[in-house]
């Protein structure tokens, strides 16, 4: 049986262990509310366990590292903030988060300000993963890092995912 290394900010699942669709988090009454679990592919600052702990450690939400993964169909571009452009592959990690932690990630990534869009990408082994893609025009990325699709940014990203069979592969 293959075991994965532990991260300081949470339990990892073994490669042969199915990710639960919900997680429990104790309340002050000792009850265990059940919260849905969503997977998120991260490729920039959120691959640093200390950054994740800083961002989500005091959150009432739950999060766990699922280990390294690769995104096929996009490549990473660095600028003031990292983002993705069509084509190639990007290395990163998978996190499992509940809806409270996902809301905190949305705020961190500036989804409400249009800095990043959160989109759904299929996993190669089944299911789906959430992915943040930054708008190069709003992130100070190099001038040649542009999307050629004339649609609004979020629509262009979603169209690329469908047309190019974009998938996330977990390495654990």
Tell me what the pLDDT averaged over the chain comes to. 80
Instruction: Please name the residues in contact with 160: beta carbons below 8 A apart, sequence gap of 6 or more.
Output: 73, 74, 86, 149, 166
Domain boundaries along the sequence of the chain: 37-170
pLDDT in tens, 79-100: 788 999 999 999 999 999 999 9
Neighbours of 86 (CB within 10 A): 18
Tell me the per-residue pLDDT of 34-82, one tens digit each, with 9 for 90 and over: 566 899 999 999 999 899 999 988 766 788 999 999 999 999 998 788 9
Residue 76 CA to residue 95 CA, distance in Å, equals 18
CA dist., res. 158 & res. 150, Å (int)? 13
Q: What global pTM score does this model have?
A: 0.78
Secondary structure (3-state) at 65: strand
Which pLDDT score is estimated for 123? 95
Instruction: For residue 153, name the pLDDT band (cuts at 50, 70, 90).
Output: very high
Judge contact between 46 and 99, C-beta under 8 A: no
Cα dist from 10 to 7, 52, 64, 67, 69, whole Å: 6, 10, 5, 11, 17
- Selection from 2, 4, 1 nearest residue 94 by Cα: 4
β 34-42/116-122 pair status: unpaired
In the structure, what pLDDT confidence band is assigned to residue 115 with cuts at 50, 70 and 90?
Answer: very high
pLDDT tens, residue by residue, 98-108: 999 999 999 99
Judge contact between 46 and 85, C-beta under 8 A.
no
The CATH number of domain 37-170 is 3.30.365.10: no
Mean pLDDT of the 165-169 span: 93
């Amino acid at each position: 049986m293959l075991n994965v290394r532990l991260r300081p900010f949470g339990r990892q699942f073994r490669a042969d262990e199915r990710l639960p669709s919900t997680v429990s988090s104790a309340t002050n009454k000792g009850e265990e509310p059940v919260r849905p679990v969503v997977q998120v592919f991260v490729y920039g600052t959120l691959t640093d366990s200390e950054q994740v702990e800083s961002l989500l450690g005091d959150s009432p939400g739950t999060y766990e590292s699922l280990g390294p993964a690769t995104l096929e169909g996009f490549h990473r571009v660095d600028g003031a903030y990292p983002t993705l452009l069509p084509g190639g592959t990007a290395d990163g990690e998978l996190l499992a988060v509940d809806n409270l932690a996902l809301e905190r990630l949305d705020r961190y990534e500036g989804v409400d300000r249009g800095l990043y869009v959160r989109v759904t990408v299929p996993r190669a082994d089944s299911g789906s993963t959430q992915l943040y893609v930054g708008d190069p025009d709003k992130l100070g990325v190099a001038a040649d890092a542009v999307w050629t699709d004339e649609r609004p940014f979020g629509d262009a990203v979603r169209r690329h995912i469908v047309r190019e069979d974009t998938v996330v592969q977990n390495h654990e």
